[in-house]
Amino acid sequence: MDDARLSPILKSIKDLPDNILCVVAGIDIVTHEQLSFIERVKSELDSSDQPSDRTLEAVVFDNAFHGWFECE
């Protein structure tokens, strides 16, 4: 239950994986939450006093719907 992958939005940046790829569907009930999470993590990475090799990449597909990535 402590795994950050279960609910990454609630976790501290120190508990998240070093490399994160966020694929966001534009037509999704949680799009706002995902984009807010991305901005928070980017901000925390940018404001860190420590040099870091951690990465966060986000790709937003405006016309995609929730679950589209798993469709044929």
Phi, psi of 21 (to 5 degrees): -120, 120
pLDDT at 9: 86
The pTM for the full model equals 0.83
- What would the pLDDT profile of 31-50 be if each residue is shown by its tens digit? 999 999 999 999 988 887 77
Given a cut of 90, whether residue 25 has pLDDT beyond it is yes
Taking Cα atoms as reference points, which of 2, 66, 69, 63 lies closest to residue 34?
A: 66
| CB of 66 closer than 8 Å to CB of 29 | yes
Provide the β-strand partners of residue 55.
19
